[in-house]
Chains A and B, each alone.
Chain A
């Protein structure tokens, strides 16, 4: 069965304390992996798309990487405004839907 697992479920960081979020997947025919950020009471906000192992994307303090079995979202020197739930999703080979992980709730303390 195709699965997407995110870890940790929750992460508390001090401002400036860098860390990484993990998204592992057991799917066949991966077409793309997507990272989203979701703030309370809002819809997910698109961050990155990764298509092939070895690919990296960066945006401000965030950097996403992809291997054949997992993706990492690295957060460098986070700020309190980076606090949110980070979701990863995979697009499978034959479908057009995105299968989402359950998310990592990140809290950055000032």
Chain B
């Protein structure tokens, strides 16, 4: 596609529910990243994919967070048993290779009530 696409753009969920966030990277980009941006905060790294494998999961804040990537393309970030502190904007980015400039999607604004 022309750019990184994320869905939904906004998600309101009740505390304790599971949510899935989707990312469609730029076609042909092998590297994919998930970041989290809390209100007024900088970007917090969550996970990096190279192809379908995730060599770096170091940023996942707890075992309630998981992510997968299939076909070297679409990625899904899943948050189980959501908590209010999970409220943030979740940003996905892709690049042609690990370490190259990354292009970001518009983000998914998650609100846990």
Candidates B33, B101, B103, B105; contact of A97 at CB < 8 Å: B33
Number of interface residues of B (CB under 8 A): 26
Binds B, one of A43-51, A62-70, A75-83: A43-51
Say whether A99 faces chain B, with CB atoms less than 8 Å apart: yes
**Residues in chain B near residue A42, CB distance under 8 A:** 106-107
Closest to B109 in A: A41
**Residues in chain B near residue A99, CB distance under 8 A:** 45
Listed A/B pairs (9) with beta-carbon separation below 8 Å: A32-B99, A34-B102, A43-B93, A46-B103, A96-B48, A97-B56, A98-B45, A99-B45, A100-B42
Chain A residues within CB distance 8 Å of chain B: 31-32, 34, 36, 41-46, 49, 87, 89, 91, 95-103
Chain B residues within CB distance 8 Å of chain A: 4, 31, 33, 35, 41-43, 45, 48, 50, 55-56, 58-59, 91, 93, 98-107
